[in-house]
Structure 1
Amino acid sequence: MSRERTVAELDAVIEQTLRDSQLVHEHAAPGRWLVDLPGTKKLKTVCGLIVGEHALRVEAFVCRQPDENREQLWTYLLQHNARMYGVAYSIDSVGDVYLTGRLPHAAVTADELDRVLGAVLSYADDHFNTMLEIGFGTSIRREWEWRVKRGESLRNLEAFADFVDPGRRSRAAGTRDDGA
């Protein structure tokens, strides 16, 4: 049986991996790291790496508790969990959504950290807009309508254009969306 790796040994692997990946990070205390993962839909996901007695815990906040359609969102997330690598969607006591996982100390290598951080980024970013549409659809529509009425910019809501106004794309192309 191999000996347990020390916090200092694991910190050295984590630090070198983050430096090599050129990721913005903070080493808050021995065995505690915060890593900024830059995305496109979710602009930044902060991922915590916490060295425990037997495993490295991976935690990343994805979005706050949904305003609506909680069960639909949980179903969506649980269906994805079966196909995910290294982390899974979870919720806290108030319903906020996280990605969480654990790596045994022996698995903490540069390649595995890169793979798990990539998974966190992919799962947080790729599904973010869909999570917002399911859990915050009414708020998104209300904000869209408010901005349209006042002539305000829709720039940071453009990702939801087809969700809020499904006929918009066909009207912009000069076609009808009523099937005629």
Structure 2
Amino acid sequence: MSRPTAADPVDHLRLLLDRVGADWEEGTRPGETVVTLPGEHKLRTVVSLLVGERAMELRAFVIRNPDENHEEFYRHLLRRALRLPGLGYAVDAVGDVYVTGRTPLAGIDEAAVDELLGAVLAACDDPFDDLLRLGFWTSIRREWAWRRSRGESTANLAAFRAELEALEDESEEPPAPGAGGRTPQ
């Protein structure tokens, strides 16, 4: 594989992104390129690649600050972080979760860009449904009930359909004899 001839590191990165078939656009900051990766669990993952003098930094939004179950939510992320190649999870001032990383410009070639984008997508997309269950289950259940009560589409909750329907079935079962209410005398 021959090395691209682009002298400017940003142009070099963009040439490599074109070669791996990544959908990108120019960012708002000098040296920034924004890549959009399609997902299976998350609709898409948006990655900011910021080229500096010696290194490229990346940041991708994973999920907003959880509503509940914070300890298990963050424990889940920390366990996954053990398997991230050169990446890590971070939270911002409001608790939203990101994947971050930094790689030397000298190490950026087509294979490295492809591997890096694959790792970012796996870190953001693969755990998404589990993170929703851990951090937003109460909201998911409320939205399901609201949509069902109004005959609205539940397509956006398809990943949780079996669990939510099972909860509905449990709540529709008649109480066992002697459970709740008055007992016969």
> What TM-score comes out, normalization by structure 2 length?
0.81
Residue 10, structure 1, aligned to residue 9, structure 2? yes
Correspondence list, 1:27-176, <5 A:
27-28=26-27, 30-166=30-166
Shift in alpha-carbon separation, 1:12–1:151, aligned structure 2, 3 A: same
Report the Cα distance in structure 1 between the residues aligned to 2:165 and 2:115, rounded to whole angstroms: 37
- Corresponding residue of 1:21: 20
Counting matched residue pairs gives 163
The gaps in structure 2 that reach 5 residues or longer are: 1-5, 170-185
**Identity over the aligned pairs, expressed in percent?**
44
Secondary structure of 2:103 counterpart: strand
Report the Cα distance in structure 2 between the residues aligned to 1:166 and 1:86, rounded to whole angstroms: 40
Summarize deviations over 1:115-154 as a string: whole Å, max 9, x none: 0111111121111111111111000000001111122111
Deviation at 1:53, TM superposition (A): 3.1
Report the Cα distance in structure 1 between the residues aligned to 2:134 and 2:165, rounded to whole angstroms: 15
Does the Cα contact within 8 Å between 1:133 and 1:163 map onto a contact in 2? Answer: no
AA partner of residue 47 (structure 2): C
Does the Cα contact within 8 Å between 2:62 and 2:98 map onto a contact in 1? Answer: yes
Report the Cα distance in structure 1 between the residues aligned to 2:162 and 2:89, rounded to whole angstroms: 26
Secondary structure of 2:119 counterpart: helix
Shift in alpha-carbon separation, 1:73–1:35, aligned structure 2, 3 A: same
AA partner of residue 10 (structure 1): P
**How much is the aligned-residue C-alpha RMSD, in angstroms?**
2.0
Does the Cα contact within 8 Å between 1:42 and 1:128 map onto a contact in 2? Answer: yes
Moved over 4 A (4+): none
Secondary structure of 2:76 counterpart: helix
Report the Cα distance in structure 2 between the residues aligned to 1:54 and 1:65, rounded to whole angstroms: 32
Secondary structure of 1:49 counterpart: strand
Does the Cα contact within 8 Å between 1:72 and 1:134 map onto a contact in 2? Answer: yes
Report the Cα distance in structure 1 between the residues aligned to 2:105 and 2:22, rounded to whole angstroms: 22
Summarize deviations over 1:7-60 as a string: whole Å, max 9, x none: 953213211121122222112354211000111110110000011233210100
- Which structure's CA Rg is the greater one? 2
AA partner of residue 15 (structure 2): Q
Does the Cα contact within 8 Å between 1:33 and 1:50 map onto a contact in 2? Answer: yes
